[in-house]
């Protein structure tokens, strides 16, 4: 089943908010990584989850952007994913 443009944008917005929440959780765990192997493992799994989610969001945003590069909402979406990627690389 194919999503409408509006559904796609809503999906993208929800997933990017979820990624930001994961990034906040990851940042809150930074000081406890050395406490135990379990803490470190959880942080690594969280990092993997963030990277996978970002990859999906980035690919979606860029594919939509390249469908019609004149469409402002997809220009904005692609730009937002670039910013999110920069923030993620700082985690």
Q: For the segment 29-79, what is each residue's pLDDT rounded down to a tens digit?
A: 888 889 999 999 999 999 999 999 999 999 988 999 999 999 998 899 899
* Confidence at residue 3, expressed as pLDDT on a 0 to 100 scale: 54
pLDDT band at 9 (very low <50, low <70, confident <90, very high): low
pLDDT band at 90 (very low <50, low <70, confident <90, very high): confident
Whole-Å CA distances, 12 to 33, 34, 54, 56, 62? 31, 34, 11, 10, 12
Q: Which pTM value belongs to this model?
A: 0.78
* Confidence at residue 73, expressed as pLDDT on a 0 to 100 scale: 87
- Measured in whole angstroms, the distance separating CA 83 from the mean position of its chain's CA atoms is 10
Could you give the CA distance from residue 50 to residue 81 in angstroms, rounded to a whole number?
13
């Amino acid at each position: 089943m194919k999503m409408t443009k509006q559904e796609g944008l809503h999906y993208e917005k929800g997933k990017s908010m979820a990624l930001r929440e994961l990034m906040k959780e990851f940042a809150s765990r930074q000081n406890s990584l050395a406490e135990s192997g379990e803490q470190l493992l959880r942080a690594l799994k969280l990092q993997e989850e963030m990277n996978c989610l970002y990859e999906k969001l980035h690919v979606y945003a860029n594919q939509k952007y390249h469908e019609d590069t004149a469409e402002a909402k997809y220009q904005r979406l692609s730009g937002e994913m670039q910013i999110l990627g920069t923030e993620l690389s700082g985690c």
